[in-house]
Amino acid sequence: AQSVTQLGSHVSVSEGALVLLRCNYSSSVPPYLFWYVQYPNQGLQLLLKYTSAATLVKGINGFEAEFKKSETSFHLTKPSAHMSDAAEYFCAVSERGSQGNLIFGKGTKLSVKP
Amino acid sequence: DAMVIQNPRYQVTQFGKPVTLSCSQTLNHNVMYWYQQKSSQAPKLLFHYYDKDFNNEADTPDNFQSRRPNTSFCFLDIRSPGLGDAAMYLCATSRGLAGEKAYNEQFFGPGTRLTVL
């Protein structure tokens, strides 16, 4: 069965530093891949998605992610962290040909220090 | 703006007292999902509707039921809430397109936080 692994349940960076949140998937057939952000007491907001076009995907709020088939990875990055980026981030996959059920990683909580 | 709306945002109920959470969407999507999310955990899918077809996850307790009277609305009924049912409940929608090339991102509502006293 498909699974998603997010390394690091909690990541802390300084304001202005690089943000790197890791996500690996298990499928041998590249799935559709998503990153969602969740602020406290809010729903999930889509940051970006990979749907087999460009391997480098740009999203909202300055985030981007690169799909690497050889590494079965879809890590999320942002060159310079802002205080407002503090939130929980979820990586999710959806198998091709499915109706769209998402399989979520366990999430990574990002803290940004001033 | 097209969106997913959940009411209420915060719901307090008593142990064993039935409660209904509601979700509506203006996206005209085929699929509507209900998730339960406990603190510091990923959302857990309870069930979803593809149009009127109901799909229950195998481990969803019988205490949880759902209704979808039309395309726009979907309800989550908790028949006898226990303390362990206190959580954030998220509604989501997707287009539900079929086919190998169809990707179906999900659009989430703001959630309803349920407290059980």
User: In the structure, what pLDDT confidence band is assigned to residue B78 with cuts at 50, 70 and 90?
Assistant: very high
User: In the structure, what pLDDT confidence band is assigned to residue B102 with cuts at 50, 70 and 90?
Assistant: low
Bridge-partner residues for B107, per DSSP?
B93
Is the pLDDT confidence value at A65 over 60?
Answer: yes
Contact B13, B74 (CB under 8 A): no
Distance CA B100, CA B15 (A): 45
Is the pLDDT confidence value at B99 over 70?
Answer: no
Contact A65, A59 (CB under 8 A): yes
A97 touches chain B (CB under 8 A): yes
The DSSP secondary structure of B94-116, one letter per residue, reads E----STT-----EE---EEEEE
Predicted pLDDT of residue B112 = 96
Predicted pLDDT of residue A54 = 82
Contact A105, A6 (CB under 8 A): yes
User: In the structure, what pLDDT confidence band is assigned to residue A53 with cuts at 50, 70 and 90?
Assistant: confident
Predicted pLDDT of residue A31 = 82
Predicted pLDDT of residue A83 = 96
Tell me: the pLDDT tens digits for B32-49? Answer: 999 999 988 999 999 999
Nearest CB neighbour to A104, from listed B31, B42, B97: B42
Residues 57-96 of B with CB under 8 A from A: 88, 90, 92, 94-96
Predicted pLDDT of residue A29 = 75
Within a 10 A sphere around the Cβ of B84, how many other Cβ atoms? 10
Nearest CB neighbour to A51, from listed B6, B48, B103: B103
